[in-house]
Structure 1
Amino acid sequence: MQEPKPSFSLRKIALAAFGPSLLFGVGEGAMYPVLALSARDLGASAAWAGFIVALVGIGSLLANLPAAALAARFGERSAMVGASVFSLLGLAFCLLAHEPWLFGIGVLMIGMASAVFMLARQTYLVEAVPLTMRARAMSTLGGAMRIGLFFGPFIAAAFIHALGLDGAYWAAALAILGAGLLSLAIPDLPGDRKQRASSRHVAMSGMMRRHARVLITLGLASALVSALRACRQIVIPLWADHIGLDATTTALIYGFMGGVDMLLFYPAGKVMDVRGRLWVALPSMLIMSTSLMLIPLTHGFATLMAVSMILGLGNGIGSGIIMTIGADASPNEGRTQFLGIWRVISDLGGGGGPLLLSAITAALSLAAGILAIGGLGYVAAYMFWRWLPRRVTA
């Protein structure tokens, strides 16, 4: 196993590697708790509100491969600045929308922009960080987003109190503007463009054929993880609305859930580095699935808060797991393309999970949809137990 360089420290690359993702996470955290509620206010049914929120994942799915191409051609910094501008345009659509479909366009644009931030940073970290610290680096990248998701709802709650639901989108705009300005100020990290250029001509179809087994097994399991994560962002506000909680209270519940989530990312990464990936993947899925299945039993602020914090615990210990497993499986040649494909598969879960939730909610009930999504986590737990390597070697 490759040993870390004595002089290596995540702190040396923290601002450039994690700063833009942190601020973008604040923006997403500010608006996630109210996306479904805004759609409802515009006349969308509960099922259509779920579909509109699913457009975040769909947008990310559509943008993963173009994001890799843009970053390779124009450089990572330019790609992230462009994504910030694009996301701000999406927020303008959300603020000006008078119909659900126009609001959905804005949500889709924001999802597309988010793909650029995560893919750009993940590719670099795989190359820059020693294998024995890889999970900590990936979990810290995920943790930067989680820190943003933690603070975002609290900021949103203050803006909502002053400006109504639109306040959440103004808070998001300020954070994403900051992410764009920071991206503009920092240089591309050394060697990043060179690495992408060396794999630019690797054929995507050949990559998929050579790595079909890992993409079908661990890739599909990662897609199920994404489905649970995406649905939790919809389930909490919709169920809170269902039991009569207001938008400010919903944002606070979401924020406390993010707080538990945020605190665990680095310990989770260290466990993965020292004990192996399965020690985190398996408990994460079991806890998330069980807590989702408990949500339909909640009936007020206290019970929903308690279950949401357990859900945050399960998600927090799984911080960075999808990116880490993808990085472990990625080849040296064509790494950017492989990670783009990996993100497409995982984002199929991020977009497909909410679509499944929306469909079951329309056909049966919101509670039935939540239970179905919770069941997917048990499937993912089995797949990780079956196919995830116990140890990773260089």
Structure 2
Amino acid sequence: MADDSPRRILVRFAPMIYGPTLLFAIGEGAVIPLIPIIASRLGADIAVAALVASALVVGQLCGNIPAGWAVARFGERITMGVAGAVALVATICLALAPTLLLFAAAVFVIGLCAAAFGLARHSFMTTRVPLSFRARALSLLGGTFRLGMFVGPFIAAVLLTVFGDESAAIWFFGVCLVATVLLVLLGPDPELALTRNGSDAAAPEPREDTGEPVTGSIPLPASASGQQRVGVFRTMWRHRDVLARLGLAAASLSALRSARQVVLPLWGVSIGLDAQTIALVVGISGAIDFALFYASGQVMDRFGRLWAALPAMVLMGAGFFALSITHDLTNASMWFAMFAAVLGVGNGLSSGILLTLGADVAPPTDPAPFLGSWRTLTDAGGAIAPLLISGIAAVLSLSFAAGAMGVIGLFGALGFIRWVPRFVPRAK
């Protein structure tokens, strides 16, 4: 039926999922570059300013598991609304903080809220989107977030030019959060819309065997299944095999994504490029990445999850490894631009894969507690990578650090080859 088409169902999700995601990401993207600057103005040196900026990532790491409990207990919509409201309070504290400690605490709380908001969206899509276009829906979700994080800094630059004060970008984030909360709480409920149109996203649907791993049945809400919900830690223990194996492979992908953001600017500085050239190369790499986000979902839905994960890991792993041997070559700047583009292609092909795999292996009746653990693992991979790069570069060199990321990428590819077929069963 026409009403069951991917386009129509995804349009119904826009007010509840994609719209709030874009607003939250634009506001967050406007504020993130200014956190170290404001911390320095409040008396932090470079090291402390970096530590304050990292409080956002630490907050996300700490927030994933409690967010899993909250979504399982109160539901996605309430969790998203409360997270947005608490983030709004933290944003006001961010703008008015008289001390560095209060400012850092506000950054940490925003990280907690970002984790809750993100997990609620992930859980909602896991249980509401039909399997036949789950990957496209989640890739679009990831692409929406990337668009917001891309646009946000430009809006911050305009606000700084107009008002000459970093607080303007913070208040802009606050306005985005108000709009986000109103949209989540007062906007149309897509689940009710699907029910009215006779389209039950939770109903299993027939499909062809693509010859590659995809999930079996569509998740059912716990209330519909009649099964008892289990706690977060019991869920972690029950699914320890998938978390320790496929979860670690997913964490390696997250590490490569984070490493790309760190290595490329440092590499440009190390080979003597000016700031404008580095920004141009990194910007082009990011544009390539963003341009491919929906193609990733198409590949996963049409051919299977592994056909997106494996090329992404191989491209990024090989890209880092190849970059590591070009530092002292005559045309180092040309190789830098080339492999930055390769990394952009690899990252673009991986868009939505972590969300999709998490949804695929989550318990059908109560995905939120599992997704909290899954997202904690992947976020940890992203958080550890910059520390690993810093340590290796300090002891050896940046080239060795890039090479190490390449090795992680290739081992991660082997992990996906081994564990995706085991934990994401073939269609029957």
Q: CA deviation at 1:265?
A: 1.6
Distance 1:290 1:112, change over 3 A: farther
For residue 176 of structure 1, what is the aligned residue in structure 2? 177
Aligned partners of 2:264, 2:125: CA distance in 1, in Å? 32
Q: C-alpha displacement at 1:139, in angstroms?
A: 0.9
- The range that moved more, 29-38 or 224-233, is 29-38
Structure 2 residue 29 is matched with structure 1 residue 29: yes
Shift of 1:273: 1.1
Which of the pair has more CA radius of gyration? Answer: 2
Pairwise CA distance, 1:96 = 5.4
- 1:65 and 1:360 mapped to 2: Cα distance? 30
Matched ranges for 1:255-294 at <5 A: 256-292=284-320, 294=323
1:7 to partner: Cα distance? 4.7
How has the CA–CA distance of structure 1 residues 4 and 251 changed in structure 2, closer, same or farther, with 3 Å as cutoff?
Answer: farther
Instruction: Kindly state the Cα deviation for residue 271 of structure 1 after the two structures are TM-superposed.
Output: 0.5
Q: Partners in 1 of 2:122 and 2:14 — Cα distance? A: 13
Whole-angstrom distance in 2 between the partners of 1:72 and 1:330: 13
Comparing 52-61 and 90-99, the one that deviates more = 90-99
The answer to whether residue 424 in structure 2 is matched with residue 382 in structure 1 is no
Determine the structure 2 residue equivalent to 1:128.
Answer: 128
For 2:371 and 2:130, how far apart are their aligned partners in 1?
18
What is residue 312 of structure 1 aligned with on the other side? 344
Instruction: Give, as a single letter, the amino acid of the residue that structure 2 aligns with 1:107.
Output: V
- 1:243-262 to structure 2, matched below 5 A, reads 256-262=284-290
Using the alignment, how far apart are the partners of 2:236 and 2:229 within structure 1? 14
Match of 1:61 in 2: 61
Q: Which moved more, 1:34-43 or 1:62-71?
A: 34-43
Aligned to 1:337: 369
Higher mean alpha-carbon deviation, 94-103 vs 345-354, is at 94-103
Aligned to 2:196: none
Query: Which deviates more, 291-300 or 337-346?
Result: 291-300
TM-score, reference length from structure 1: 0.81
Distance 2:333 2:403 in 1: 20
CA drift of 1:62 comes to 1.1
Partners of 2:317 and 2:410 within 8 A in 1: yes
Output the CA distance in 2 between the equivalents of 1:49 and 1:73: 36
Question: Which is further off, 36-45 or 104-113?
Answer: 36-45
Contact persistence 1:4–1:132 (CA under 8 A):
no
**How big is the shift at 1:360?**
4.0
2:245 aligned counterpart, secondary structure: helix
CA distance in 1, matches of 2:339, 2:40: 24
RMSD: 3.9
- 8 Å Cα contact 1:287-1:310 kept in structure 2: yes
Structure 2: distance between partners of 1:241 and 1:19 = 37
From the superposition, tell whether residues 372 and 74 of structure 1 become closer, same or farther in structure 2 (CA, over 3 Å). Answer: same
**For the residues of structure 2 that align with 1:327 and 1:235, how far apart are their CA atoms?**
30
**Quick check: 2:221–2:365 contact (8 Å CA) kept in 1?**
no
Report if the CA contact (8 A) 1:64-1:343 is conserved: yes
Check 1:169–1:374 CA distance in 2 against 1; reply closer, same or farther (3 A cut). Answer: farther
Q: Residue 354 of structure 1: which of 386, 398, 420 is its match?
A: 386
Distance in 1 (CA, whole Å) between partners of 2:247 and 2:56 is 20
Amino acid at match of 2:13: I
SS of equivalent to 1:393: coil
Q: Distance in 1 between matches of 2:283 and 2:100?
A: 26
Taking structure 1 as reference, are residues 251 and 87 closer, same or farther at Cα in structure 2, changes over 3 Å only? farther
Alpha-carbon deviations, 1:227-280, whole Å to 9, x = none? 22234444456666776866x987776655443222212211111111111111
Contact kept in structure 2, 1:136 and 1:273, CA below 8 Å: yes
Paired amino acid for 1:265: F
Q: By how many angstroms is 1:387 displaced?
A: 1.8
Q: How has the CA–CA distance of structure 1 residues 189 and 104 changed in structure 2, closer, same or farther, with 3 Å as cutoff?
A: same
Q: Which runs of 5+ in 2 are unaligned?
A: 193-201, 203-219
Cross-structure match for 2:221: 195
1:67-146 to 2 correspondences below 5 Å? 67-92=67-92, 94-95=94-95, 103-146=103-146
